[in-house]
Amino acid sequence: MRSFYLVCPLHFEDLVQQELKYKWPLHFPKDSYNILKADKGGVELECSLECGLLLNKILKIPGRIMLRVKKQKCRDLPKLFNIIKKINWKEYLRQENMEIEVTAKKSRLIHTTKIENTVLDALKAYFMANKIPQKKILCGAKPQKIYIRLFEDNLSISLDTSGELLHIRELNNYRGLASIRETYASALLLYLLGLKSYNKFTLLDPMCGSATFLYEAKNFFELNKRSFAFENWANLSLATLIDQDNPWSFSQLQGIDINNQVIQKQENSTIKITEGDLFKSQQNHNSIVILNPPYGKRIKIEGDLQVYFDSVVKHIQNGICPHAFGIIIPSAFAKKLKPHKRLKFNQNGIKVDFLVYLSARNK
Ligand SMILES: C[S@@+](CC[C@H](N)C(=O)[O-])C[C@H]1O[C@@H](n2cnc3c(N)ncnc32)[C@H](O)[C@@H]1O
């Protein structure tokens, strides 16, 4: 068993576990995992090396997946040098091009540049003594990242298995001016929808921008199609994994945006995107609405922000009358609102609340 750390935004730890619990048996029916810890922006679990690496292809909510290589007490640089030099790096590395990320708190070793240089020296000494197996590195591959963390003299050494952050689904997606990260959109969809079926409903984003919520709802149960850092060193058969059926199975995925330049950039036959104004959108009892309105920073809003957000919520409730809806509102303006549930998180440095409302028929 190996230990993996799934990095996620603070307060999304439960959602990562829900996603894991649902998807794991579909992809790895013969294997199991144990959760070791879930808090402070991450979920630590124990499982086989192969399954842990393949989570990069399966999960939509974590932002990065790290493999713990070593955990040990360490109070001085000579000890750090020896620990690093003794690790069997041949198991993981096919290139000597490395990037080291150091964090050190409440430890005797605190000088991050000295720590980094010691790690690089120890790796150099390892490479002198051991020839690492050569493998053709994927085109455009970045240096392999190694994370060194020291907290209260406890050293943990982890290897990045993802490469680019996992919200990057495919490298040439169109992204709007104020688009939400794909990993966040997936987490909020799961928070709003759970794992029920919605085959009689339309999923509607009436301020859709680059339609991230709709693409994520469409792809949540499919595999991530891009490449990952672990593919540079692990010989795994990716063919064993297959896309899974989408239990949400909305009858339609529909986006509306007032800015027709945004709409022109989207070409997708399964997602219907039209030009329109949220405040003029029609009643649809058979819709589930999810949206991320402008916050007034990157996209300007005229007038009082509290009045604006209140009126967006009111229009969805009384104008569209959906079966349920979820909306992101900066926390400062979400305080007085009374949703059925709320999830607090940080979006590009702004404290926000995701508010979930259920219609009277749906309570
Ligand atoms: C924060 S962005 C949404 C980003 C989107 N969730 C994404 O991931 O790309 C807000 C969007 O609302 C649109 N918008 C602003 N006022 C609107 C209105 N009254 N009706 C419809 N769309 C509106 C803007 O054009 C912008 O694309």
pLDDT tens per residue, range 40-85: 999 999 999 999 999 999 999 999 999 999 999 999 999 999 999 9
Which residue's CA lies nearest to atom 27 of ligand 1?
209
Asked if residue 174 has pLDDT above 70, the reply is no
Which residue's CA lies nearest to atom 13 of ligand 1?
207
Closest CA to 70 of 96, 95, 92: 92
Domain assignments of the chain as residue spans, ordered by start: 2-160, 182-222+229-362
Q: What does 94-157 look like in DSSP terms, one character per residue?
A: S-S-EEEEEEEESSS---HHHHHHHHHHHHHHHHHHSPPPP-PPPTTPPPEEEEEEEETTEEEE
The model carries a pTM of 0.94
Give the pLDDT mean for 9-35: 97
Mean pLDDT of the chain: 91
| DSSP letter (8 states) at residue 362 | G
Three-state DSSP state, 225? coil
Q: Is the dihedral of CA 246, 235, 64, 17 positive or negative?
A: positive
| DSSP letter (8 states) at residue 228 | -
Determine whether the shortest distance from the Cβ of 290 to ligand 1 is under 6 A: no
Determine whether the shortest distance from the Cβ of 337 to ligand 1 is under 6 A: no
Q: To which residue do tokens 């020839």 refer? A: 131
CATH architecture under which domain 182-222+229-362 falls: 3-Layer(aba) Sandwich (3.40)
Determine whether the shortest distance from the Cβ of 281 to ligand 1 is under 6 A: no
Distance 320 CA to ligand 1 centre (A): 17
| DSSP letter (8 states) at residue 87 | S
Three-state DSSP state, 69? strand
Distance 205 CA to ligand 1 centre (A): 9
Banded model confidence at residue 140, pLDDT cuts 50, 70, 90: low
Task: Please return the burial class of 86, using the count of CB atoms within 10 Å of its CB with bins 0-12, 13-18 and 19+.
Answer: exposed
Q: Specify the CATH class of 2-160 in words.
A: alpha beta
User: Which of 174, 181, 208 has most ligand 1 atoms within 8 Å of its beta carbon, as the pocket-test mutant?
Assistant: 208
Give the pLDDT mean for 322-326: 97
Distance 249 CA to ligand 1 centre (A): 24
Is the model more confident about 181 or about 302? 181
Q: Is the dihedral of CA 159, 165, 166, 171 positive or negative?
A: negative
**What's the pLDDT score for residue 28?**
94
- pLDDT tens digits for range 246-284: 999 999 999 999 998 877 666 666 788 899 999 999 999
The ligand 1 atom at the shortest distance from the C-alpha of residue 205 is 6
Determine whether the shortest distance from the Cβ of 331 to ligand 1 is under 6 A: no
| Beta-ladder partners of 4 | 45, 67
**What's the pLDDT score for residue 110?**
95
Domains 2-160 and 182-222+229-362 are alike in CATH topology: no
Determine whether the shortest distance from the Cβ of 151 to ligand 1 is under 6 A: no
Asked if residue 242 has pLDDT above 70, the reply is yes
The ligand 1 atom at the shortest distance from the C-alpha of residue 277 is 20
Task: Please return the burial class of 228, using the count of CB atoms within 10 Å of its CB with bins 0-12, 13-18 and 19+.
Answer: buried
